[in-house]
Amino acid sequence: MSGPGLTEAILAEATSLLRVSAQRSMVVRLTGSLAVRAHCPAHAPLLPALGRRPYRDIDLLAYWKDRRQVATLFEERGYVLDPAVRQAQEFGVKRFVYEHPDSHLKADVFFDDLVMAHTIPFRGRLELDATAITVTDLLLTKLQIHEFTANDLIDCLVLLAEHEAGTTIDAAYIAEIMRKDWGFCHTTEINLARIADALPTFPALPDTAARAVERNIAALSDAIERAPKTQKWKLRARVGERARWYEQVEEVNR
């Protein structure tokens, strides 16, 4: 499958997975590009208009306590677990990666925390919104990325055009995370600057949306700047970029 057929298949499968998970009392939420689409009904048409690559897989977050039920759900639907993930689990990695041998649909399931370039905790937060992780958490999953791609940039533009810092974007929560972790804070500041600098390169972005993005970047930057930093943050800041401040991760589809 490719093009519209693949997109429809991914959307249908994601909807079915969420429905069955809820029926079995599992807390499973969308993340990634499908979550951006779910949270941005007014601006979702901008995703392809700005050049966003079509959906290629299903990204989910769940709780580790439900891992056996999650595994059973995917096995019942004919998915096969990536052998490399089986080995990684022996080292404490809480992540399942599945592919269906017939449809070739792929699903990536993270448990409890998103562990990538930086770590985002999700325990106790998946219940805060239905269907997908919160807008705030979704934005964090994008801002933590060190190898920031054009697709990540477009996702952030759409999120920041649709939602306001201080309301659906919890700037205080973001600042609370940043004030304790210099590395995550530094990556976030770099990515916010990248988004701001890229605005003129997207003529398809309406002026009202561009102004909303600028306003939200300013609000988030201000909240992060004003948050009192911990001693650990200050000590790490002295080292700066002389030491790597992010974890290296394998390339994944986003």
Q: Tell me: the pLDDT tens digits for 214-241?
A: 999 999 999 999 999 999 999 999 999 9
Q: Tell me: the pLDDT tens digits for 46-102?
A: 999 999 988 889 999 999 999 999 999 999 999 999 988 766 665 567 899 999 999
- Tell me how crowded residue 2 is: count the other CB atoms within 10 A of its CB: 8
Options 1.10.260.40, 3.30.360.10, 3.40.50.2300, 3.30.460.40; CATH for 3-242 is 3.30.460.40
> Which 8-state DSSP code applies to residue 160?
H
Q: Where are the beta strands (DSSP E) in 63-102?
A: 80-81, 95-99
* pLDDT at position 253: 38
* pLDDT at position 247: 95
Percent of the chain residues topping a pLDDT of 70: 94
What is the rounded CA–CA span in Å between residue 209 and residue 1? 33
Q: Tell me: the pLDDT tens digits for 114-158?
A: 999 999 999 999 999 999 999 999 999 999 999 999 999 999 999
> Which 8-state DSSP code applies to residue 68?
H
Residue-averaged pLDDT of the chain: 93
* pLDDT at position 90: 54
* pLDDT at position 2: 55
- Tell me how crowded residue 246 is: count the other CB atoms within 10 A of its CB: 16
